[in-house]
A and B are shown apart, each in its own frame.
Chain A
Amino acid sequence: MSIEFRKELFADERDDNLNEIGKPTQRQDMVGHVTGRSPFYDDHLFEGLLHMRCVRSPHHHARIRSIDVSAAASMPGVKRVVLGKDVPRNLNTLLSLLDFGLDDEPLISERKVSYKGEPVAVVIAESEHAARDAVAKVRVDWEVLPHVLDVEEAIVPNAPTVNETYPGNCFIYHGKYTHQKLRYGDVDAAFAQADHVIEGRYQMSPIEQAPTETCGAIAAPENNNRYVCYTSTQALFFSLGTAAKLLDVASNRLHFIGGTVGGGFGGKVDSLHEPMAILGSMLTGRPCKYMFDRAEEMQVGAPRGAERWYVTDGVMNDGRLVARKFVGYFDSGAYTRLSSYAIIKAVGHLPGPYTIPNVYADVYCVFTNRTPATAMRGFGITGVDFAIEAHMDKVAEQIGMDPIEFRILNSYRDGDMKAHRRLAKNTALIECCQVAAEKAKWSLSDQAKRQNSLTGGGGERAQLPNFTKTDENGRVEGFSTGSYAQKNKPGAPAQPPQPNYQPQPAPRPSAPPPAPPTAPPPQTPAAPPPIPRPTTQVQDPFSAPTPTPPNPPQPPAAPPGGAPRRTTRFSSISGLRRR
């Protein structure tokens, strides 16, 4: 283990003579940690504490015909068995607090379950042991339904509907599409001219955040007719706002205390424990604790969901990437939680830290009958970075280039236009490549060593494509953009009527289906100019670090019949409203 601070790099951009910044000051919380005094949520003792345990679905997908709690309720030490009907507003989605997405998940399910482990009843008892015993006595009459576990199988026509809020098993973006699009230039035209077109498929499996402290919360009646809640949350006001909404209580009647948490890594954002513990406290008048045990943390606690990425690169013999196409599927599990936003983050990140003149992505947030996914360290980025960088290695191999020099050649630099149509600034990828190579004694050419992030960018590389090919693939009806907050005015039905909506199958990259009939025919641009090629074998690929975009000229007229380009407020990504 060694660490060095390469102060000579970017030195003129910093003042290194500050009083406190840059100093190796001891952590404020370190004494608490080494003495065991740091107060985690469970380190608050309450006389008469009750314990909550969930009755969970043993099925991937099933309708609940009935729940019989009579035997459980009469067990020794049992104070109450809580059902979905006891939750004042039993439907929520976490990001509704930010006006993003439709309520799709009950706190305690009443009619159906969509993943193994979904809670359908909660026992509140004098001890955890008593609660566990009573959970085993709750009888649920299940009608098992067909289930779907794979993202691509979930979005074909006639797949079982996992999440009734989104009947096609896709989160709907902007009230309009089954996926989030990224369109920059024309990848198909560029592939046609590339020396090599290289495809890959990458799969991330679900990952458990595995903090050493499991998720949990303790709630208790407080003076002034309020409730105090000690919590392991990573997001105090998300949890407070979610609890206030689900329990239909003013937020200032809740007093949340947390802030010292035994690891999170994204797994403590979902805000399920706080409303549950407060509900228990409201129903019993006693302090209540709801915590995951380790097995629940691993199988019921939301993981980073699986992701599947198809990547296609067009590359020239001299190493210039001219096009990159992604089709990605995030496995959101049964409900939305945070995967919907992770895709926005991922799409804003594509095509990775490279300047590529033609970029395309379709990214789907897919519902399957598995544990809902949520955030984890690098959420939205880690999976696609794995795909990009594993793919870069293959492409470098195919064109016979050193993998680091291949990255440096294509690296973004200050002033370059990115695929999300903003200029790059404050970049430092090339320097990282050079320093890592130096440390590992990986030899680079002199040309590669001479490159830097501050020069060579901008200019032609700052230009937007002359033409961007767009389409309306994946267009859906029955959703409209609008204010989500208005939809949820008190009195609005919790479950709006189902729209008449049949999803389009998602295009696979190898054989995209034609656009649905409602979409205008894609504009066919004039034949693109040929990609400039060196007349001789490239001696110094870095000498002209501008990857000339193979952009076709601007088409003479706007695409006929094309939907007018409309910028939609983010909340309307969010704010799908059913007609």
Chain B
Amino acid sequence: MARHRGKGFACINYPIGMNLGGDPSQALVHSNPDGKFMVALSSIDLGQGMKSVTRQIAAETLGVPVEDVYVETADSDTGPHCMGSFASRGTHRVGNAVIQASLEARAVMLEAAAEELEVNAEDLVTDGKGNIHVRGAPSRSITTAEASGAAQFKQGKTVSGRGIFLIPLSEVDPDTGEMTPVSCFAHAALIAEVDVDDETGEVAIVEINSAYEVGRALNPKLIEQQLVGGAWMGTSHALWETTEPYYPSREHGPVDFNEYVMPGPGDIAPHNIAVLERPAPDGPYGGKGPGEMCANPVLPAIANAVYNAVGVRVDELPITPEKILRGILANGGAKPQARR
């Protein structure tokens, strides 16, 4: 009886968003008279960081500091339509809508500034610190607060913008499946190293090494949150979770977290991540969506690592100790494969 070490590899790509009804999202942006902005969405923040990433996107586009922007989500009286937060669509679809809305609001702000400075709006740039100045002449400047105030109280302009992002529906051919499924893809490759106990069938993750390509990492800390948490969930899906442990039987279904088991804080393994950034041509500042794809490579990588460790192919998820032990038994013992 022994523990056997094995390594398994998997790589994936992941389609961002949906080809469903145009997959639209809208955004509205407006400023207070002192140049502080609000972004109104009906998109949902369920932990992925919707409010935060759209806030940075709005600030970047408006040309103001991030502190000058707040995002308010999901009041149907004020937030314009959004399909919702799923399908890794949020950053890409909503981010693009926020860019469009912010560009419109920015244009009005620059027009107001131009009128005050008596220059052409096309000659104005923002410094991202709350100032608007003539390109190449930083001394000819006005603050975003002054420009917004002038728009509101002198010029009668609304510093506001509307945005929508929509990818027209792509027809699906019933006979060949021809379609334009989504707009861009994220990528990942992952190597799981496991120990498999051939007496208990238990799998312990020793280490995970991964490379995730996410488009541009719009906020590296939010990316880190998603990738670390997503890989944890992938591990859980590979080895632990199901509501129907003997599918298709509906017996033995768990009803609480003592029965629906997942790895706890004591079960996590070191995970070494590399983030690659190949910007999506149509993504907001090149961003894609890391939220779903981060879990996907973990499942097959662990299955392949279990095979490498003890020579058992478990093709039915989750890879429970019972399935591993039955496989070992059928093989007449653990059959470790070539060390990698």
Task: Find B218's partner among A2, A21, A202 (CB 8 Å cutoff).
Answer: A21
Contacts of B191 in A (CB 8 A): 436-437, 439-440, 442
Number of interface residues of A (CB under 8 A): 143
Residues in chain A near residue B295, CB distance under 8 A: 377-378, 382
Complex Cα–Cα for A95 and B83 (A)? 11
Tell me whether B244 and A205 are in contact (CB under 8 A): yes
User: Do B190 and A436 touch (CB < 8 A)?
Assistant: yes
Closest residue of chain B to A565 (Cβ to Cβ) is B175
Encoded as 1 (CB less than 8 Å from any A CB) or 0, chain B from 215 to 234 comes to 01111111010011010010
Contact of A3 among B12, B227, B291, B318 (CB under 8 A): B227
Instruction: Tell me whether A367 is interfacial, beta carbon within 8 Å.
Output: no
| Option from B12, B211, B257 in Cβ contact (under 8 Å) with A435 | B211
Asked if residues A256 and B75 are in contact (CB atoms below 8 Å), the reply is: yes
- In contact, A5 and B243 (Cβ under 8 angstroms): no
Q: Which chain A residues lie closer than 8 Å to B55 at the CB level?
A: 25, 28
Instruction: Judge whether B270 and A1 touch: CB under 8 Å.
Output: yes
Distance, CA A245 to CA B221, complexed state (A):
40
Interface residues on B, range: 35 or more
Is A129 interfacial (CB 8 A cutoff)? no
Q: Which A residues, 227 to 245, have Cβ-Cβ distances below 8 Å to chain B?
A: 233-238, 240
| Residues 290-313 (chain A) with a chain B CB within 8 angstroms | 294-295, 298-299, 303, 306
B84 adjacent to A237 (CB under 8 Å): yes
Residues of A within 8 A of B328 (CB): none
A335, CB-defined interface residue at 8 Å: no
Q: Nearest B residue to A95 by beta-carbon distance?
A: B20
Residue from A259, A269, A381 in contact with B296 in the complex, judged by beta carbons closer than 8 Å: A381
B254 at interface (Cβ–Cβ under 8 A)? yes
Chain A residue at minimum C-beta to C-beta distance from B241:
A207
Question: B residues 236-254 with Cβ under 8 Å of A?
Answer: 237, 241-245, 247-250, 253-254
CB distance from A207 to the nearest CB of B (A): 5
Task: Kindly identify which residue among B19, B128, B307 contacts A570, using a CB–CB cutoff of 8 Å.
Answer: B19
The answer to whether B273 has its CB under 8 Å from any CB of chain A is yes
Least Cβ–Cβ distance between B5 and chain A, in angstroms: 13
Within 8 Å CB of B315, what residues of A? 200-203, 390
Residues on the A chain within 8 Å of B243, using CB: 205-208, 298-299, 303, 371
Contact, CB under 8 Å: B172 / A344: yes
Q: A420 to B178, Cβ gap below 8 A? A: yes
Is the C-beta of B204 less than 8 angstroms from some C-beta in chain A? no
Chain B residues whose CB sits within 8 angstroms of the CB of A65 once the complex forms: none
Do residues B248 and A306 form an inter-chain contact, with CB atoms below 8 A?
yes
CA distance A101 to B296 in the complex (A): 28
- Complex alpha-carbon distance, A375 and B318, angstroms: 18
Question: With A234-B84, A237-B83, A298-B253 known to touch, is A568 a contact of B173 (CB < 8 Å)?
Answer: yes
- For A389, the closest partner residue in chain B by CB is B300
Query: With a CB–CB cut-off of 8 A, which chain B residues contact A233?
Result: 44, 84
Indicate whether B262 reaches chain A with its CB closer than 8 angstroms. yes
Residue of B nearest to A374 (CB): B86
B181 lies within 8 A of A345 (CB): yes
Q: Is B331 an interface residue (CB 8 A)?
A: no
Q: Is A46 an interface residue, CB under 8 A from the partner?
A: no
Residues of B with C-beta under 8 A to A171: none
- Tell me if A60 and B250 are in contact (CB < 8 A): yes
Q: Which of B20, B193, B211, B222 contacts A100 (CB 8 A)?
A: B20
Given known pairs A1-B270, A100-B21, A470-B175, the reply for A25 and B83 (CB within 8 Å) is: no
B18: interface (CB < 8 Å): yes
B177: contacting residue among A14, A183, A378, CB under 8 A: A183
CB distance from A427 to the nearest CB of B (A): 7
Residue of B nearest to A260 (CB): B45
Contact A203 B317 (CB under 8 A): yes
CB 8 Å contact bits of B43-77 with A (1 = contact, 0 = none): 11111010110011101100101100011111111
Q: How far is the CA of A21 from the CA of B77 in the complex (A)?
A: 30
Q: Is A116 an interface residue (CB 8 A)?
A: yes
Known: A394-B313, A420-B181. A19 touches B59 (CB 8 A): yes
Question: Among A14, A257, A407, which residue has its beta carbon within 8 angstroms of that of B11?
Answer: A407
A24 on the B face (CB < 8 A): yes
B51, B85, B237, B277: the one contacting A28 at CB < 8 Å is B51
Contact partners of B73 in chain A: CB under 8 A: 259-260
Residues of A within 8 A of B293 (CB): 378, 381
CB neighbours of A256 from chain B (8 A): 74-76
Contact with B along A540-579 (1 / 0, CB 8 A): 0000000000000000000000010111111101000000
Asked if A23 meets B219 with Cβ closer than 8 Å, knowing A299-B253, A385-B297, A390-B315, the reply is yes
B87 part of interface (Cβ distance < 8 Å): yes
Minimum distance in angstroms from A192 CB to a CB of chain B: 21
A501 on the interface (CB 8 Å rule)?
A: no
Find out whether the CB atom of B86 lies under 8 angstroms from the CB atom of A6. no
Residues facing B in A411-441 (CB within 8 A) are 412, 419-422, 425-429, 431-437, 439-440
Q: Which residues in A have their C-beta under 8 angstroms from that of B81?
A: 237
Contacts beyond the supplied A97-B21, A182-B177: 8 A-B pairs with Cβ under 8 Å: A27-B49, A95-B20, A331-B248, A349-B13, A390-B300, A440-B193, A565-B173, A565-B176
Please, could you name 9 A-B residue pairs with CB atoms under 8 Å apart, sorted by A?
Answer: A1-B272, A60-B250, A181-B177, A235-B83, A236-B42, A257-B75, A390-B313, A439-B209, A472-B175
Residues of chain B touching chain A, judged by Cβ–Cβ distance below 8 Å, are 7-15, 18-21, 41-47, 49, 51-52, 55-57, 59-60, 63, 65-66, 70-77, 79, 81-87, 128, 169-182, 184-185, 187-191, 193, 207, 209-213, 216-222, 224, 227-228, 230, 233, 237, 241-245, 247-250, 253-257, 260, 262, 270-281, 285-286, 291-293, 295-297, 299-301, 303-304, 307, 313, 315-318, 340
